[in-house]
Amino acid sequence: MEKIIFYEDRNFQGRHHECDNDSSDLHSYFGRCNSIKVEGGFWVVYERPNYMGNQYVLCPGEYPDYQHWLGINDAVRSCRVIRNVGTSWRMKVWERPNFEGHTMEVVDNMPAFHERWHSHDVHSCKVFEGAFVFYEQPNFRGHQYLLERGEYRRFSEWGGMQPSVGSIRRVKED
């Protein structure tokens, strides 16, 4: 069962709100978010309403302050459950938009994407199985972008401001 709890203050203090499903606008429940407990399921939280802005992918566990989920501030305004967590993962990436140019298949975590790919840029991709997270920097740092099953003809379709990919991680249960 999916469940996430947002707390206004660090270390799970202050006003809190429990959520068990997607929510496009959380601002009426809390003004700021400084800690989170994920008690079930995998979630992506967004800095802005309607699933916009910086994304943070959270697995079950406790996050006593926003730095623990790699947040850059205490703004959380929407969230949704990740539904494609599975036991197998497969994705293809392309060097140009619309699935053109050089391609590579990805099935594992890649902490340094550029070591296997000729560039830092990915302009389109298809996720066939599972869910993945693109990070703008190597070693799973920087802005995060969740990619679930489906086709992404250009980087803006997964929420990217630029095509840069530094690392890739599968969304999976440990």
Domain ranges of the chain: 3-81, 90-170
Q: Residue 174: what pLDDT?
A: 64
Tell me the CATH architecture of domain 3-81.
Sandwich (2.60)
**Lowest-confidence region among 59-63, 86-90, 138-142:** 86-90
Q: Are 98 and 124 in contact (CB under 8 A)?
A: yes
Per-residue pLDDT tens digits for 1-55: 999 999 999 999 999 999 999 999 999 999 999 999 999 999 999 999 999 999 9
Token readout for 89 is: 């993962």
Whether this prediction's pTM lies above 0.85 is answered by: yes
**Which phi and psi (to 5°) does residue 155 adopt?**
-60, -30
Per-residue pLDDT tens digits for 90-128: 999 999 999 999 999 999 999 999 999 988 899 999 999
**Lowest-confidence region among 26-35, 68-77, 81-90:** 81-90
Q: Residue 61: what pLDDT?
A: 96
Mean pLDDT of 141-168: 96
Q: Does the pLDDT at position 86 exceed 90?
A: no
Q: Are 85 and 173 in contact (CB under 8 A)?
A: yes
User: Which listed CATH number (3.40.50.720, 2.60.20.10, 2.60.40.10, 3.30.70.3280) goes with 90-170?
Assistant: 2.60.20.10
